[in-house]
Structure 1
Amino acid sequence: MSYAYSEPRMEHPSASSTVRPNLNVTGLVKTYVLDTNVLLHDPRSIFRFEDNNLAIPVEVLEELDGIKGEQSTERGRNARRVHRILQELFPDHRSMLEGVRLETGGTLCIIINRNLESTLGSPALQRLRSVLPDLTKRDNRIIAAAVFVKETFPPPTILVTKDVNVQLKARAVGLLSEDYLNDKVPETSEEHDYRRLTVTVYEMQRFASEGEYRVRLDAKKPLQINEYVLLQTQEGKTMPARHFGEGMLRKLRIPEYLKAPGGIPIRARNLEQQFFIDALLDDSISLVTCFGKAGTGKTLLSTVCALHQIKEDTGRYDGLSITRPVIAVGKEIGFLPGTMEEKMKPWLQPYYDALEVLIPSKPPRDPQFAGKKAALKRKKTETAAALPANGAAPAVPIKPYERLLKTGLVEIEALCFIRGRSIARRFFILDEAQQLTPHEVKTVITRISEGSKIVLIGDPAQIDNPYVDSRSNGLVYCYNRMRGQTLAAHVHLTKGERSKLAELAADLL
């Protein structure tokens, strides 16, 4: 049973200062105070708290007002969306202060902390001022508003914020505080490893010859569609496979090597890379998610598989699109001049490095005993050919992979301009996807049209965005929600192949 809690008030509109929110009060109902970053993270978070009470400090509205002018950012769009939702929910000033009933059964109101006007205030406010004396800071004022709600209304009060520092400061003043958990994936203790299935030698031989084999599924731990497994016999023979549903396993379909136009051949170095290549080359899979630490081959393999499939005339895709979130590690270097490609180049340098490896600028070295005269003559001929007829300075030679950029086969995308686009017949790589929120990843994936493929790669252990973590980032969220779908596949790369030093540093540092 619930009942409304409010103090007597005057009916005249000028007495709005005495209006108190009508909140549900039972032993099970809680009052959640929302921070600005929660609304920016999920504009519809207001409707995610079931039948509990929600309170938004007026300082949050002020902060949203300063963000809504960001035209080309996700934050600006979300702030404007929150404003539209609140405008629909609160038709007049009295409904803002009294609160409104939500479709979930809970209530929503705007909180004005009038205790800040007092020089002394309640014991709770005095304690807050002793711990957080600077109440001109907006974070501190939001915490103060939550303290005001806690001491004014009976239900337990919890401040919900995605800012870890605000959580800690709130707890320092005796306030319950937690992260926004709606879009976090469940905690799991399972190892991120492929499944091993034991078969007989005859079953292995049949699978090798026919390319298919049906296994009996474990009801307690069933195989997901497009899950990669390793068949093994007691004699030690192994063979990789992919589950296509209903217990049907099929052999991987990967070429002996991959090669970019005019580049060098690239081969998988371990079993996990074979899984990754199989998913990247299968045209029935439109979404591939990949977890992997530094040096496991995420960037190189995704790039070479893309270029392998965009050959002229016979290509499956019209080109490769590459993007990643612009989040710096360490100190910022300020604004960058130039075109969008020039601005994005520092952030996408790993892909320029990968293209340099796949399509090297330097030709293979001459054999050991080749005559030096021939090499010198060839160098003079190339130099003379590079000189213009009018005697001007020679043109700067471009690298082989730069021709792919100039012809449009490889495009650099900026995430801030992707909304509203429809990306058709492109191989789309979204790097560092663990830095994005679930809503941002959804925005990107919903831009993919028929005939296109999107690959999300990243390392959930390396997150620099302060508002997501290993369970709430867009990469992990996308994998968790899309697994088991026929259009999606997932691979986890664990073995580093860059160098022994890189592998050791990734494991120990």
Structure 2
Amino acid sequence: MPPKPAASPRHVQKHYILDTNVLIHDPGSPFQFKDNFVWIPVEVFEELDRFKSESSTRGANAREVHRRLSERFMNPSDMQAGVKLENGGLLRVCINPTARFSAEGWQLVSDSPRFQALRDLFADLTLPDNRILAAACGVADGEKGSVILVTKDLNMMLKARALGMEAQDYRTDRVEDVDIRLTMRRSEEEYETMDVSPHTVQAYASQETIVIPEAKTFIPNHYLLLRNEEEPTHAIPARHVAGGELHKLRRDRIVIRNGRTLNALNLGQRFLLDALYDPAISLVTVYGKAGTGKTLLTVGAALEQVQVGVFEKMLITRVIMPTGRDIGYLPGKLEEKMQPWVQPAFDALELLLTRPRRPEQFENKRQSQRKSDDHQPPQQHSSQQSGPTKPMRPWEPLTASGRLEIEAITHIRGRSIPNAIFIVDESQQLTPHEAKTLITRMGKGSKMILIGDLGQIDNPYVDAHTNGLVYARNRLQGQPWMAHINLFKGERSEMAEVAANLM
């Protein structure tokens, strides 16, 4: 008689308690925990209510959470018993019976060891975070199985662990990308190489394209070096289009009409310019630390293509991550509100649209100014005399003609943007939801460039592995219209490069 098969271990359901910041980060997070129990403390509703009127992405996400939960909890019995989810899990609202409010303030009526530790360590229950911790303690005391607090707040995570509870980050959209650490610290360029015969290198050097069957393993629009296997110092940069077909790089300079000409200063910048000028590529993502030329090259390539008519206009936006203030606190129109945030792009435009002067031009200008001052008669001061006129900046005619627009991410919803090139600076501050919102705005004939430094993240809801830039790169890589570039070498100055690497 054959032996009976061993019984598979029974799946033990876990209890996940979601902090407010998880719902703000991903409004669909309650539905991402498979067939486990998902708890939302009632205090979370109170925090969401504070954000719902904001015109920011945080406000939009708070309203989306309210809509999704309202669709699930249709009546009071749903709130009490919970609702079944399509993945087999159960979604419940946690109303903590041990936390009570009286004339003396908030009090905990439970004497369990966990609640006693909460009273000793985090007694101030006027703080929503501490009441959420109390709700998690209540679930841990009353339910079987593992209880895990899910939060994107590192301090909240530490407080939960101090109470002996398990706590973790929201990992559903976490991306493991080896390029993250490489581009944050490395100064030497590191790009993939493919060793081929000298004959293949020579054939590729004499023509625009070549097909190498072994290159089929690379994803579309992957940049690499074809290296002579007999002489490794001899290599030619290439882009794998698809199916083993490799193309030569076609652009290595930016030529601005009535402005400057910029040449690529390293291999990474050559890769970037090739992707920026290729009409078949509609989305470019760029990782690079400070000083690698991300903004300057991207703005320059966009400006030249607008000048020659490839695109009708260029749009520039930057993720606003101030210290607690929203864009509405700044005076003026949208462009005036956004100007402090997109100033790096304006600096790049001013450089590109201004011809470099030779040293003798500065001397001639000083001499002519002195002569003018010597022959100018003294002016009568009058209260009627108007103040000095503000000189026009080189990029202002572009905004006046509609060929340059400054866009706020908070106002992008519902737009469709055709025949434009759209630059999103500081994309490492985006949430995955914001990245999706931006990319889905692109219409026919448009191109989007997401650029960012993964070592400079100020958004409390994302980190180097969960931001919208790495999310977009890893979800969309392999598409025939998408390319990714890593920039390693700083070109701003020796001091900036050393500081970026050592500080």
Q: TM-score range by the shorter chain?
A: 0.7 to 0.9
Specify the alignment match of 2:77 in structure 1.
94
Instruction: Give, in whole Å, the separation in 1 of the partners of 2:375 and 2:259.
Output: 24
Pairing of 1:229-378 with structure 2 (within 5 A): 229-233=224-228, 234-235=230-231, 236-254=233-251, 257-311=253-307, 314-328=308-322, 335-360=329-354, 363-366=357-360
CA distance in 1, matches of 2:430, 2:366: 54
Q: CA deviation at 1:161?
A: 0.8
Q: Tell me the equivalent position of 1:3.
A: none
Q: 1:227 aligns with which of 222, 229, 244?
A: 222
Identify the range of structure 1 (436-445 vs 350-359) with the bigger mean alpha-carbon deviation: 350-359
Tell me the residue number matched to 1:76: 59
> Residue 242 of structure 2: SS of its match in structure 1?
coil
Aligned partner of 1:46 in structure 2 is: 30
Unaligned ranges ≥5, structure 1: 1-25, 384-389
Q: 2:90 aligns with which of 107, 112, 126?
A: 107
Change (3 A) 1:362 1:113: same
User: What is the aligned-residue identity percentage?
Assistant: 47
The count of residues paired between Structure 1 and Structure 2 equals 472
C-alpha distance in 1 between matches for 2:366 and 2:93:
82
SS of residue paired to 2:237: strand
Q: CA deviation at 1:330?
A: 10
> What TM-score do the two structures reach when normalised by structure 2?
0.88
Q: Note the alpha carbon deviations across 1:346-374, whole angstroms, 9 max, x for none.
A: 11111121112112277544369979877
**2:140 match:** 150
Q: Which amino acid aligns with 2:439?
A: I
Task: Answer yes or no: is the 8 Å Cα contact 1:115–1:121 preserved in 2.
Answer: no
Cα 1:298–1:382 shift into 2, 3 Å: farther
Tell me which moved more, 483-492 or 57-66. Answer: 57-66
Question: Structure 1 pair 62/51, CA: closer, same or farther in 2 (3 Å)?
Answer: same
Q: Secondary structure at the match of 2:418?
A: coil
- Render the CA deviation track for 1:227-259: whole Å, top value 9, x for unaligned: 00111213322211000111111101115x312
Task: Tell me if 1:203 matches 2:200.
Answer: yes
Unaligned stretches of 5+ residues in structure 2: 1-9, 101-107, 184-189, 378-383
Tell me, yes or no, if the aligned pair for 1:34 and 1:161 is still in contact at 8 Å.
yes
Is the contact made by 1:27 and 1:155 (CA closer than 8 Å) also made in structure 2?
Answer: no
Q: Would you say 1:489 and 2:483 are equivalent positions?
A: yes
Tell me the equivalent position of 1:424: 418
- Structure 1 residues 64-88: Cα deviation after superposition (integer angstroms, max 9, x where no partner): 2222222x22222222222222222
For residue 108 of structure 1, report the CA deviation from its aligned partner. 1.0
Please report how far the alpha carbon of residue 419 of structure 1 lies from its aligned counterpart in structure 2 after TM superposition: 0.5
What's the offset of the Cα at 1:471? Answer: 0.5
Tell me the distance in 1 between the aligned counterparts of 2:126 and 2:67. 28
Which residue in 2 is equivalent to 1:28?
Answer: 12
| Equivalent-residue separation in structure 1 for 2:65 and 2:75 (angstroms) | 17
Deviation at 1:120, TM superposition (A): 4.9
- 1:367 to 1:420, Cα distance in 2 relative to 1, 3 A: closer
CA positional deviation for 1:210: 1.7
Give 1:119 shift: 3.8
**Distance in structure 2 (CA, Å) of the matches to 1:253 and 1:362:** 26
Residue pair 1:43, 1:78 contacting (<8 A) in 2 also: yes
Q: Give the CA deviation at 1:224.
A: 1.2
| Higher RCO, Cα 8 Å, sep 6+ | 2
How well do the aligned residues superpose, as a CA RMSD in angstroms?
2.7
Distance 2:291 2:365 in 1: 39
Aligned equivalent of 2:168: 178
**TM-score, with structure 1 as normaliser:** 0.87
Structure 2 counterparts to residues 357-506 of structure 1, below 5 A: 357-360=351-354, 363-366=357-360, 395-506=389-500
Evaluate the alpha carbon distance shift between residue 210 and residue 177 of structure 1 in structure 2; reply closer, same or farther with a 3 A threshold: same
